[in-house]
Amino acid sequence: MSELVLSNARLPDGRIADISIDQGIITHIGSSGHGERVINCRNRLCIPAATDMHVHMRDGSQAAKETWKTGTQAAAAGGVATVVDQPNTIPPMDTVENFLERAALASKESFCHFGINGSVTEHADIAGLAKAGVLAFGEMFAAPSSYGSALPAEVIRDSLKTIANQNMLVTVHAEEVILGEIHSLAEHSRSRPISGEIETIRLVQNLAPTHAQLHICHVSGAEAFETIKGSFEVAPHHLFLSYEDTDPENTFWKMNPPLRSKKERLHLIQNFAKIPVIASDHAPHTIQEKSQPFSASAPSGVPGVETMLPLLMNAVTQRTITLNDVIEKTVTNPCRILGISAPSLSPGSRADLAVYVDIPTKITGEALHSKCGWTPYEGMSGLFPATTVIGGIPAWHDGEFTHGGGQMWKNTQKAQLRRKE
């Protein structure tokens, strides 16, 4: 008797099958026997759950924005099984002590798998953090953003060399900022242009040693793709939102890199096939914070971990992208880049699975689970999962959460995990 059976699940190839799960692993796909718990999927589509390699889980002194509990519940409700937390936290992840404290909190509170990245700063204990188990380093700030200051070129060069010698991945926030006051989304876009992203990517790549493993965060313009020598990601807000589509001073649509024009957004979509990874850059702020004046007070960043997959899966239903696209860019490639095993629909795989409803629904901040309580995608359509299994546990099912399936991904465990799975 299996611990869990997902009965009548529709696989990506169209087959209807039962998925048997024991001790967090898929043991059989086909006709099943009895299960201690059986969830009838009602012929709904079942795919591997996603890995979001760029989130900001906040907590601690920023708990009003988000906590590990609320942020990972949002992830599970959005079909995401693994989140990777960025290190521009308060306090920053620049010491082993800070990292271990955050890892202990996340281990206690998280409803999904997680990794924590180490800071890249002038005084960060890179060797100590690597030994302690950070999953990767960065996002390293080559331009300023919320809770992150731009690093001098010599610090970037020295840090990249040290990280490369640890044989670890470093992720990069690459922008160029033109000084001056900004009062609208269009001005914000002009102050952080795509051309500046390209120049900063080139700068970082020129400063990096040849054996460095670089991943460029949230690329906002397709013009940058050919410049990038390593891997990169694109955020859903740059695919689905344009600054012309809202009030010019809408601070709730303010993020770094900024939203682009509709023309630039469509160019990004036209080059969708070239994008290796979609990552949410989930960066929640409170409604009160985002309601401040645009010019300098309103922080940059938007929530997105719960809506990333629903937006993409809705695009699948509209036949603008394929299901293979979604799995490749949110499951296979992120796990490969991070060095962790990707879940799959096959016996022996880790049981990280999402079962999607048949009909899209309207996205509303009220219905989502992030503590910040709002979304830039209000009123748009999303195809949400009815069930998300994480580590063999139905972490999200029919509107209820269950804790206990998640684990922490550590750099020091990656080879061991690959052998095990």
Taking only the tens place, the pLDDT of each residue in 247-301 is 999 999 999 999 999 999 999 999 999 999 999 999 999 999 999 998 778 999 9
E strand or H helix at 128: helix 126-132
> Which percentage of the chain shows pLDDT scores above 90?
92
- CA-based nearest residue to 359, from 398, 393, 331, 386: 386
Strand ordering across the sheet containing 113-116: 50-55, 80-85, 113-116
**pLDDT at residue 33 in the model:** 76
148 pLDDT band, cuts 50/70/90, is: low
**pLDDT at residue 297 in the model:** 83
**pLDDT at residue 321 in the model:** 97
353 pairs with which residues across the strands? 48, 389
CB neighbour list of residue 47: distance below 8 Å, 6 or more residues apart: 12, 323, 326, 327, 331, 345, 353, 354, 356
**pLDDT at residue 414 in the model:** 55
Every domain range in the chain assigned CATH 2.30.40.10: 2-46+346-356+383-420
281 catalytically annotated: yes
**pLDDT at residue 231 in the model:** 97
Per-residue b/e over 372-393, b at no fewer than 16 CB within 10 Å?
Answer: bebbbbeebbbbbbbbbbbbbb
pLDDT tens-digit map of 361-417: 999 999 999 999 999 999 999 999 999 999 999 999 999 999 999 999 999 755 444
With beta carbons less than 8 A apart as the criterion, state whether 259 and 235 touch: no
122-127 average pLDDT score: 95
Residue 345: C-alpha distances to residues 8, 81, 352 (Å): 14, 14, 9
Pick the CATH number of 2-46+346-356+383-420 from 1.10.1060.10, 3.10.290.10, 2.30.40.10, 3.40.710.10: 2.30.40.10
pLDDT tens-digit map of 172-212: 999 999 988 899 999 999 999 999 999 999 999 999 999 99
**pLDDT at residue 416 in the model:** 44
Q: Is the pLDDT of residue 418 over 90?
A: no
pTM: 0.96
**pLDDT at residue 181 in the model:** 87
**pLDDT at residue 179 in the model:** 87
**pLDDT at residue 420 in the model:** 43
With beta carbons less than 8 A apart as the criterion, state whether 278 and 240 touch: no
Higher local confidence (pLDDT), 167 or 149 = 167
pLDDT tens-digit map of 25-39: 999 999 887 899 999
48 pairs with which residues across the strands? 353
| Average pLDDT taken over every residue of the chain | 95
Tokens of 146: 């919320």
Helix (H, G, I), strand (E, B) or coil at 270: helix
Candidates 18, 52, 94, 281; catalytic one: 281
**pLDDT at residue 150 in the model:** 85
CATH topology of domain 49-338: TIM Barrel (3.20.20)
* Angstrom distance (rounded) from CA 407 to CA 147: 27
| DSSP secondary structure code for residue 279 in this structure | -
Every domain range in the chain assigned CATH 3.20.20.140: 49-338
Q: Is the pLDDT of residue 127 over 80?
A: yes
With beta carbons less than 8 A apart as the criterion, state whether 184 and 259 touch: no
Indicate left, alpha or beta for 101 from its phi (over 0: left) and psi (-120 to 50: alpha). alpha
**pLDDT at residue 28 in the model:** 96
* Angstrom distance (rounded) from CA 138 to CA 214: 10
Residue 348: C-alpha distances to residues 80, 86, 416 (Å): 20, 30, 15
CB neighbour list of residue 375: distance below 8 Å, 6 or more residues apart: 302, 303, 304, 307, 363, 364, 365, 368
Higher local confidence (pLDDT), 295 or 334 = 334
